[in-house]
Amino acid sequence: MSKQKNIIRFILDGKTLEVAFGEKSGISPDISLLHYLRQAGHKSVKEGCGEGDCGACTVVIAETCDGKPVYKAINSCLVLLPMIHGCQIITADSLSEDKDGQAVLHPVQKALVDHHGSQCGYCTPGIVMSMFSLWKSVQHPTESIIKRRLAGNLCRCTGYQPIIDASKQFPATLRQDKFSEQAKETVRSLELIYKEIPSLDIEASGIRYFRPASLKEALKIRRNFSEAVVINGATDIAVQLNKHKIKISSYLDLSGLIELKYSKLQDHSIEFGSCITIEEMGVAVKSKFPALYEMISVFGSHQIRNLATPGGNIGSASPIGDLLPLMIAASARIELQNETKKRSMLLEEFITGYHETRMKPDELITKIIIPLPTNATLIRSYKISRRKDVDISTVSAGFCFELDQEGKLQSAKLVFGGMAAMPVRASAAEKHLLHKSLTRQNIREAAEMVYAEFNPISDARASAESRRLLARNLLISFGEDHNK
């Protein structure tokens, strides 16, 4: 075991590879997957921004699920190399197949050529990989699914239409390619990696990197190395590493905690393990909780949703965290755990300030429990951003109203993001609405109070005055919909 201490394994170019971290290899555990791949000669993987916004670095990772490989498009710039331990990595330059000694384009590549879907070509490998993951997972993609899956790939040349057309006209043949032919073998190899090296404890290049395979193990590390930065998706930390060159000496990476990657539907609530991806969370809530699904559908891009987790979103406690206002409004609870005990609290109580929470140094967020809307609740989510997709909110909101039988408000929660240093409730407006019915007039009055209640900042996204107007208008918008 000690010999295997500083290594990870994954499949690349059809072979299981081993990377040993340290001085000798010159590879540090905080290297991004993007930079590793480029160093390893996969120059098709481009860096366009280093923050997950452009998708030029999109690659596909395959993980095993119920004995089958599952293909996910991700931003390789947002992934630290040890996170892909036990995965297969697929890049645009490894898609083509060798037939009779000649390389033949993959069907998605051919479709893009046939539809004139590239101009300068810099974004193209990333687009190919988003199309590949779509091809692998959706048999007959609608235009709306295609757009959603490609919203995280910026192209400045084509105007996108040929890319949509190419994605629509994938050959209707069975989705067979060299990866499906090798699927069984791939799964066996990936399982073998996990069997031989279930958890990682890397100490190299002055960095300690833990990637435990069980919660028990994780909590023990948390107790002993409380200074280790917890990463649950890494979509925030990776940007800081890429762009601000921050130095982190120790990491506790939760991406190996399979036991926390679940969703569980109960009678009156839905429960999520804190390490489920946002994309999977969306699938789980689609029919049960439309307001949450809507919010998730404008959370980052498909690639980001395949990495980001609710645990990470809550743990970073950003004032503009997309899920927070709605979850607070819905009275979501979280469970925290250390080696000896569990405790649970309302999400609202957990967040105490700008990126500040009640989490203790030995604790981890393990689950999120969100009460489902009932017949007596009205729950809505809103996100306003300069651009609708793949943008951070200017103002976001979650509203939750509970009505009595006469239609009077028993409780009102109006939670706003982007209006203060943390998600905040519009308490004056809530109070004004209490025990009243949701008429246009009442809501308009409350909306004016929302306008007056906050003192937001002006920044690159919007002015303070715009934010106040938008917050007000969101409540008006709710009132108009409600009274339609």
Partner 1 sequence: MPAEPAIKMAEKTNKIRMPEKNGIDSLPAHDSAVSHVSGEAIFINDMDEGSKMLFGHIVGSPHASARILSVDTSDAMKIPGIIAILTAKDIPGENQLGPVVKDEVCLAADKTEFIGQAIALIAAESHEAAFEAEQKIIIKYSVLEPVLQLQEAMEQGKMISAPRKIETGDVEKALSESEHTLSGELMTGPQEHWYLETQTCLCVPVERSSYYVYSSTQHPSETQSIIATVLGVEENRVSVEVKRVGGAFGGKETQANHVAAWASLLARNTNRPVKIHLSRDTDQIMTGKRHPFYSKYIVGFTKSGLIQAFDVELNADAGATTDLTNAIMERAIFHVDNAYFIPNLRVYGKAWKTNKPSNTAFRGFGAPQGIAVIEQAIDRIARYLGKDAADIRKLNFYGESNNNITHFGEVVENNRLHLLWDKLIAQSAYYERKENVDEFNKNNTYTKRGIALTPVKFGISFTTSFLNQAGALINIYTDGSVLVNHGGVEMGQGLHSKIRRIAALELGISEDRVTLSPTCTASVPNTSATAASSGADLNGMAVKNACDKLKERLRGVYIKEMEKTGIFEELCQENIIFENDKVYCKEKAGLPFSFRDLVKTAYTSRVSLSATGFYKTPDLYFDKKDGKGRPFHYFAFGMAVSEVEIDTLTAFTKILRTDIVHDVGDSLNPHIDMGQIRGGFVQGSGWCTTEEIKYDEMGHVLNHSPDTYKIPTIMDIPEIFNIVLLEKVPNPNTIRKSKAVGEPPFMLAFSVWLAIKDAISATAGHKTEPGFSLPATNEVILHSIEKLRAQATNK
Kindly state the tokens that stand for 353: 């300030």
Q: How far is the CB of 425 from partner 1 (least distance, A)?
A: 20
Q: Does 156 bind partner 1 (CB under 8 A)?
A: yes
Contact status, residue 32 vs residue 93, Cβ threshold 8 Å:
no
Instruction: Provide DSSP, 222-282.
Output: HHHTTTSEEESS-TTHHHHHHHH----SEEEEGGG-GGG--EEE-SSEEEEETTS-HHHHH
Q: How far is the CB of 126 from partner 1 (least distance, A)?
A: 9
- Pick from 24, 245, 268, 341 the residue near partner 1 by CB under 8 A: 245
Structural Rg of the chain based on CA atoms = 23
- Tally of CB atoms within 10 A around 156: 11
Beta carbon nearer to partner 1, 273 or 325: 325
Q: How far is the CB of 258 from partner 1 (least distance, A)?
A: 31
Q: How far is the CB of 367 from partner 1 (least distance, A)?
A: 30
How big is the site for partner 1, counted in residues (CB under 8 A)?
84
- Pick from 17, 18, 25, 116 the residue near partner 1 by CB under 8 A: 116
Q: Of the listed pieces 3-11, 124-132, 186-194, 216-224, which binds partner 1 according to CB under 8 A?
A: 124-132
Q: How far is the CB of 215 from partner 1 (least distance, A)?
A: 33
Q: Does 221 bind partner 1 (CB under 8 A)?
A: no
CA-based nearest residue to 392, from 454, 324, 478: 324
Residue that has been written with the tokens 């089958």 in this structure: 68
- x/- mask, partner 1, residues 37-76, rule CB under 8 A, reads -x---xxxxxxxxxx-xx-x--------------------
Contact status, residue 75 vs residue 304, Cβ threshold 8 Å:
yes
Q: How far is the CB of 133 from partner 1 (least distance, A)?
A: 15
Residue that has been written with the tokens 């509970």 in this structure: 402
Residues from 452 through 481 that contact partner 1 (CB under 8 A)? 459-463, 465-466, 469-470, 473-474, 476-477, 480
- Pick from 32, 109, 274, 396 the residue near partner 1 by CB under 8 A: 109
Q: How far is the CB of 177 from partner 1 (least distance, A)?
A: 14
Rounded to 5 degrees, what are φ and ψ at 23?
-60, -40
Kindly state the tokens that stand for 452: 């007056």
Residues from 79 through 108 that contact partner 1 (CB under 8 A)? 91-93, 95-96, 102-105
Contact status, residue 403 vs residue 378, Cβ threshold 8 Å:
yes
Q: Does 118 bind partner 1 (CB under 8 A)?
A: yes
Q: How many CA within 13 A on the CB side of residue 44?
A: 17
Beta carbon nearer to partner 1, 104 or 434: 104
- Pick from 17, 65, 70, 113 the residue near partner 1 by CB under 8 A: 113
Beta carbon nearer to partner 1, 161 or 266: 161
Beta carbon nearer to partner 1, 23 or 196: 23
Beta carbon nearer to partner 1, 241 or 275: 241
- Going along 53-131, which residue ranges are E strands? 58-65, 68-75, 88-90, 97-99, 102-104
Beta carbon nearer to partner 1, 6 or 91: 91
Amino acid at 322: D
Residues from 159 through 218 that contact partner 1 (CB under 8 A)? 159-164
CA angle (5, 10, 12) in 5-degree steps: 145
CA dist 238 and 231 (Å) reads 9
CA dist 204 and 25 (Å) reads 10
Residues from 134 through 153 that contact partner 1 (CB under 8 A)? 146-148, 150-153
CA dist 50 and 30 (Å) reads 14
Q: How far is the CB of 469 from partner 1 (least distance, A)?
A: 6
- Pick from 120, 265, 345, 434 the residue near partner 1 by CB under 8 A: 120
- Measure CA of the first residue to CA of the last residue in the chain; give whole Å: 66
Kindly state the tokens that stand for 304: 């980001």
Residue that has been written with the tokens 């009505």 in this structure: 403
Residues from 270 through 329 that contact partner 1 (CB under 8 A)? none
Beta carbon nearer to partner 1, 86 or 125: 125
Strand partners, 211: 200
User: H or E segment at 449?
Assistant: helix 440-453
Residue that has been written with the tokens 């990476």 in this structure: 253
Residue that has been written with the tokens 């779509």 in this structure: 134
Q: Does 440 bind partner 1 (CB under 8 A)?
A: no
Q: How far is the CB of 460 from partner 1 (least distance, A)?
A: 4
Residues from 361 through 390 that contact partner 1 (CB under 8 A)? 382, 384, 386-390
